Structure 1
Amino acid sequence: MKNISYCLLIIFFICSFANNLLATNDNYPKTREERKAEEMGSMLGGDGIVFAPGKIKNESTKNSVGSVNKYLWQAAIETLNFAPLAAIDSTGGVIITEWYSPKNKPQFSFKINLFIKDTVISPDAIEVKVFSKTLKNGNWTQNDKPSDLAPVLEDKILRRARELYIQSERKE
């Protein structure tokens, strides 16, 4: 019985060691879906949930004009085209809109400040701040609670930037 226990223990260690060797080998051929996932990055931020230690940031989408990613810039301009722009700086990656009231809510107005902070398409590369105010009794009052619009805009911009990147890769 003791020999069987030792044999099982040895088999367990051999299997564990072989599994670790296979898990660290990055030279295996990747499927189309794996390559696409690496190119697109993660919506969770950075590289998302990573189980492999030492994983570096995927810079395959790095393509910049100045200090900002050109796909993020184009996607941001397209996404914010509904609001009049107050200021833009393509080199610094800043877009600021005027106060804007949707047609169906004239008593509500919001302003967007958008900052592109990186040359790679990633959730960390973009920051959207939305300020809102409400018209009550003829006076505009600033809303203190954070707007739900900021994460929605960030998501739309990231998705559009990834689409633009993929389209450009197909053309090449």
Structure 2
Amino acid sequence: MRLQTIIGLIIVTAAASACGQNRAAPTEYTPNLDAGKTDERQLNDPNRSTIWDVFNTANAEQITNVNRYLWTASLDVLNFLPVQEVDPFTGVIVTGYGTPPGGGRQYRATVHISDPALAARSLSVSLQTSGGAPVSAATTRAVEDAILSRARQLRIADNKF
């Protein structure tokens, strides 16, 4: 039993050490004559890979923590608009066109919550009209203020103030 364990460890070690060895050798190498610097071709070689590349998360999709009060308040305030897409991982809500109560013009909204803080800097609202007419900055600001006010009410009601 001990011999099988030792042989198994040798096989696993050999397999792990061979992971980065299937690279083609460069056809020519010019040493860098500047002392203390590495050759940039070695660093930027697309064939260069190691077992540690599995843990490289530089190209992973960015995930943002979303403030739950801003998220819920956005859906509450814009409840007259049909929701088309939501992505709670990146903090984006996209709605379809709808008419606000007492209004005559149709709007659609895109909300982006970019930070876990309950603050104005965390919230970005973009409004569009169905006719292509520009939406005034005051209207967009009023919607943002309504969402922020509702989020504060939800937080107070949750006894976390």
Tell me which interval the TM-score lies in, with the shorter structure as reference length: 0.5 to 0.7
CA distance in 2, matches of 1:168, 1:111: 30
Paired residue type of 2:107: F
State the aligned residue count: 99
* Higher RCO structure, 1 or 2 (CA under 8 Å, sep 6+): 1
| 1:101 Cα offset (Å) | 3.0
* Identity across the alignment (%): 29
TM-score, structure 2 as length reference: 0.54
Structure 1 or 2, whichever has the larger Rg, is 2
Structure 1 residues 69 and 170: alpha-carbon distance in aligned structure 2, compared to 1, 3 A threshold = closer
Paired residue type of 1:122: A
CA distance in 2, matches of 1:120, 1:90: 15
Give the match's secondary structure for 1:71. helix
Give the match for residue 83 of structure 1.
81
Structure 1 residues 104 and 161: alpha-carbon distance in aligned structure 2, compared to 1, 3 A threshold = closer
CA distance in 2, matches of 1:102, 1:145: 14
Q: What residue ranges of structure 1 are gaps of 5+ in the alignment?
A: 1-65, 135-141
| 1:89 Cα offset (Å) | 1.1
Q: What residue ranges of structure 2 are gaps of 5+ in the alignment?
A: 1-63
Paired residue type of 1:67: N
Match of 1:156 among 143, 146, 149: 146
Where does 1:13-162 land on structure 2 (aligned, <5 Å)?
Answer: 67-102=65-100, 108-134=105-131, 142-144=132-134, 146-162=136-152
Structure 1 residues 67 and 78: alpha-carbon distance in aligned structure 2, compared to 1, 3 A threshold = same
Runs of 4+ in 1 over 6 A off after TM superposition: none
Return the structure number with greater strand share. 1
TM-score, structure 1 as length reference: 0.51
Say whether residues 1:165 and 2:160 are aligned partners.
no
Checking the alignment, whether the CA contact within 8 Å between 1:130 and 1:147 is kept in structure 2 is no
Checking the alignment, whether the CA contact within 8 Å between 1:100 and 1:110 is kept in structure 2 is yes
Q: CA RMSD in A?
A: 2.4
Structure 1 residues 124 and 105: alpha-carbon distance in aligned structure 2, compared to 1, 3 A threshold = closer
CA distance in 2, matches of 1:83, 1:162: 22
